[in-house]
Structure 1
Amino acid sequence: MVTVTLGPEGTYSHRAARAIDDEIDFRQSVTSIVDAVASGEYDRGVIPVENSIEGSVTESLDAVAEYDVAVVREIVTPIRHALLAQGAEFETVASHSQALAQCRSFLDREYPDTSLEAVASTAQGVEYARENPSVAGIGHPDNADERLEILAEDIQDQDSNATRFFALAPAEERSKGGGKTSLVVYPNANYPGLLLELLNPFANRDINLTRVESRPSGQRLGDYVFHVDIEAGLYEARTQEAIAELEDLAENGWVRRLGSYDTEHVVD
């Protein structure tokens, strides 16, 4: 089995992917990862979905709504950011936009005059720092080596900083078993009380909603796709009943079952 995730080597996605596979390839965007899994090019893909400080990764939400894939596992890992550079004098801090945002208070306080550059991944920012003494990177402290020193550790704004990742598989591997389920709902409608109607089937059956988020459908302004996570498996009768009611409400659109899965906490 081969897993694809965000590269280069050393990203937090890479660290999460190591929890499910030893053979890992890399892509530079979430969308290309989801596409590669949907087409069957890879057995598994690992993508970041939500961070406890910065919230959802919108590219991931849009990609799982666009491509037919299965979510087979959830991986939650703590995020420990370090500032890495060749020396104490640098002009730019380069990292993924989420990492820069997660360390905003530290950077504003300690390096208010330093420019910030958003790049494709934390590991790419670290590579830039390894190649250029005028650049510092933000990444896991394990990325330090003979060329890069750790200038500061645990620079994230919250000690509880953590990211959840989805392990994806081709659609035919979708499972009904697991403690959580993710759905994508496109009602193709817009009227007062719509969202309440969409959520009632779960509330009426005592199914806990752990996340509800809207994303633009791309069809027209004001038209939305809803991402819903619930604490119940697709195998459960109450889940099947709730989704059947949901499909009736979204009769002009569609409901996609991404699958049921369990959560693994990885401390690395």
Structure 2
Amino acid sequence: MTSTPFQSFICPLEGHPLTFSAQSLQCDQGHTFDVARHGYVNLLPVQHKRSSDPGDSKAMVAARRRFLDAGHYAPIAEVISRHVLSGSPEASPLSCLDAGCGEGYYLRALERVAGDGQALSLVGVDISKWAVQAGARQDITRAASWIVGSNAHLPVVSTSLDAVLCMFGFPVFDEFARVLKPGGRLVMVEAGSDHLRELREVIYPSLNPDKPEHDRVPDGFERGDSERVRHTCTLDTSEAISDLLTMTPHLYRATAEGRARAAALTSLEVTLDVRVTVLIKP
């Protein structure tokens, strides 16, 4: 497997192509974006922010890194990698963007699964600077490009990607369709009705009724493959349980009493239940 950083970016202010120059990206209108010390670029203009520090906090990113590096979500990562690689182009590197990449776990998994003859061109985009910084710091070989940006305004050249990942995130279908090549794949992961059920039963007084699953295909896409991934993992330390809660939105939705009940646990068997959906741009 060979991997080269993806470089087809556009200026988030004017939409003009960006070119690499020394330690910065520049457009023909004079806008310059410096490469940070850890190897990422901030392409999120202030007008696209809803707060001064949007996205996951530093603590959430650290918790997610510890939890995922322990291998608990490996079965999900393997399925995702298989669906991405099944759409590999024959004559050029497979270009893949993780929209809401977090600290880059799924891109690193894709690199591990890719065979020796597979060339990759990877980019991770996240609105959290802490997440992107963590991804870049772990990318010792600079195999991917790491960008602070928004899914609603991806700073990427149109029709430049073979695949987009959207993992438990907020899909922006028209933007994903814009950046994908014809025949490109959007691979999405959504929580199923039983996902983390045991943890949710601890932190909430009661669970809401399951929402019906929708099969509507968004404009700009055709239906591809889909499958369900179910797996059970055992968390045998209070630290692992704390990391799982901290890395999810449940941390902020739970009451103080619910968080206290979770903190008192020393082990927990948790169900992973996700739906993997592949949509294809015609």
RCO higher in structure (CA 8 A, sep ≥6): 1
> TM-score range, shorter-chain basis?
under 0.3
- Normalising by structure 2, report the TM-score: 0.25
Higher strand proportion, which one? 1
Structure possessing the higher radius of gyration over alpha carbons: 1
